[in-house]
Amino acid sequence: MGKALAETFPAARAVFEEVDAALGEKLTDIIWSGPAETLQLTENAQPALMAVSIAALRVLEAEAGFSVKRDAAFVAGHSLGEYSALAAAGSLSISDTARLLRTRGLAMQKAVPVGVGAMAALLGLEYEVAIAIAEEAAQGQVCEAANDNGGGQVVVSGDKAAVERAIEIAKVKGAKRAMLLPVSAPFHCRLMQPAAEAMAAALSEVIINVPASPLISNVLASPISSPDDIRRRLVEQVTGTVRWRESVAYMASQGVTRFFEIGAGKVLSGLVKRISDGAVGISVGSPNDLAGAKDAMAAVHSA
């Protein structure tokens, strides 16, 4: 991911070089050459995904005249994507973001021994039903809603036995599907408290600027711009629910109809369309996406 951008556009290549320098290693070699198991380690995957997102943004800025400050009513990101959103809006430097995500990935993996926790996707259930299922499944352990993704997709996280109970309860409650996710740790639940403490320490040492456009906070599903508030909410995000459905609904309520998903993949564009009727998702992750992005930008500027 991101290799074609770096080979085609100097602005994208500069982002990858900056991330490599910040981490003191050639993360780009892992991104483009593997092995896949090394890239999938959360301490590598998190800064790698951010690097691709910001590289794609720099191309959009250089080739399509995009400006976060002028053209984006808000910035937002799903989980680690919140850091990418802040880097895109100039709230965090790229170097600081890369180091923060390396710390975040290591801390999240270290917080819970492998095999102790789990996450599961519950599909086809309303959020309130999924919350009730998690509470019923806990039985003295941890089982909480980690992601409210929208479109009837809720992810629960916690102790493995409790999450497995949630899967069985969800099936009885009418879930279309309920299955364990192939993750290395139970993200976005109380078991991540040690990682939250590590991030509080790391975030206290970096400069956070007022973003060029307000950030829709994962844990609030509403906009924030104060550096102190951003710092606090990023810590809360480690153990809190990613309220993506509500975040998109809020932006739509403010008149947003075009959502640019900048970086690897098109998952969020699909979710946006399911959450907000009439929403348009524009994915920008490769040179092939540039023509469509330019057309979308032209429509924005002529509106």
For the annotated catalytic residues, the residue numbers are 79, 188
Q: Tally the C-alpha atoms within 13 A of residue 169's C-alpha that lie toward its C-beta.
A: 20
**Using the 8-state DSSP alphabet, how is residue 206 labeled?**
S
**Other CB atoms within 10 Å distance of the CB of residue 3:** 16
Find, among 247, 264, 265, the residue nearest to 256 by Cα. 247
Classify 241 as helix, strand or coil.
Answer: coil
Residue 76 corresponds to which amino acid?
Answer: A
Find, among 21, 24, 26, 20, the residue nearest to 38 by Cα. 26
Find, among 212, 231, 185, the residue nearest to 83 by Cα. 231
Burial of 151 (0-12, 13-18, 19+ CB in 10 A): middle
Classify 149 as helix, strand or coil.
Answer: strand
**Using the 8-state DSSP alphabet, how is residue 26 labeled?**
-
Q: Is the peptide bond before 186 cis (omega within 30 degrees of 0)?
A: no
Residues 6+ apart with CB under 8 A from 123: 152, 153, 175, 176, 177, 178
What's the distance, CA 25 to chain centroid? 23
